[in-house]
Structure 1
Amino acid sequence: MSTLSRIFGLRNASPVASGLYWSGIWLAIGALILSVLLTGPSLNESNMLPWVFVVHGFATMAGGFVSAKKSGRKGWYFGFANGLLYAVLLLAVSFLATDAGWSSSVPILLLVACLAGALGGMIGVNAGSGTKSR
């Protein structure tokens, strides 16, 4: 058992919840990197949208990888579920925090998150530590 699990008594049994945690961690790292890049002269806010989609895609791919690796089966399913829940949570938070409306980038975000999560899930289920016997 992990040291943090012993100290706090926390254990996550859900593969999708584990993937969402890791997606949030990678989103925070990506947001920090984009913030640092915004301080320089090479990137401004008007041409930042593609980079935001890259960060969200990588975050959901990492979350899909973790959720599928933890489940050990149905990688695309767990990755897709992770990407869909990630996108829905992100849209809910952006609506509640900034009153963001629907735009053309919302379906693109849903597509990027779901496909990247499914891809990460397919990679993650094949990277599982379980040995496959024939």
Structure 2
Amino acid sequence: MDTLTRVLSLRNASPVVSGLYWSGIWLAVGALLLSALLTGSSFSESGMLPWVFGVHGCATLAGGFASAKRSGRRGWYFGMTNGFLYTLLLMTISFLATDASWTTAVPLLLLVTCLSGAFGGMLGVNAGSNSR
């Protein structure tokens, strides 16, 4: 049985990749909540940009927290790296899926994700077991 659990368990050694996993999970939760908000209320898609930035900010905050907690050091660095790579991955997927172009919202998104990831990293490095 020990062999089976060892084979089925996924253990990631990189703190940044672990943070990106958690960012993706929180992005999925936020997207589901925004979809329910759009379906169940009178919000229009054109007025959802601040809400979308909020979801991306929360996702990178959680990812920065997870990556810095895992690393145990340099929380703002791992958090900001998580935010930058998250935005780069998001823009690559957006370009490949919908042929999205560069707009003025992209630098703003990069700023939001890097700052919230750095803040989450600062919180995460202090929550880790190595900080005591």
TM-score (norm 1): 0.92
TM-score (norm 2): 0.93
Give the secondary-structure state (helix, strand or coil) at the position aligned to 1:73. coil
Question: 1:1-134 residue pairs with structure 2 within 5 A?
Answer: 6-130=6-130, 132=132
Q: Counterpart of 2:41 in structure 1: which amino acid?
A: P
The more displaced of 24-33 and 34-43 is 34-43
Contact 1:64–1:120 (CA under 8 A) maintained in structure 2: yes
Contact 2:82–2:117 (CA under 8 A) maintained in structure 1: yes
Q: Counterpart of 1:40 in structure 2: which amino acid?
A: G
Q: How many residues in Structure 1 have an aligned counterpart in Structure 2?
A: 129
Q: Counterpart of 2:107 in structure 1: which amino acid?
A: P
Give the fraction of aligned pairs with identical amino acids, expressed as a percent: 71
Runs of 4+ displaced beyond 6 Å: none
Cα distance per residue 1:106-133 (max 9 Å; x no partner): 000100010000000000001112353x
In 2: Cα distance, 1:33 partner to 1:79 partner: 24
Aligned-residue CA RMSD in angstroms? 1.4
In 1: Cα distance, 2:66 partner to 2:6 partner: 21
Q: Counterpart of 2:71 in structure 1: which amino acid?
A: S
Return the offset for 1:9: 4.4
**Residues 51 and 5 (structure 1), Cα distance of their counterparts in 2 relative to 1, 3 Å cut:** farther
Contact 1:5–1:11 (CA under 8 A) maintained in structure 2: no
In 2: Cα distance, 1:70 partner to 1:82 partner: 13
Runs of at least 5 residues in structure 2 that lack an aligned partner in the other structure: none
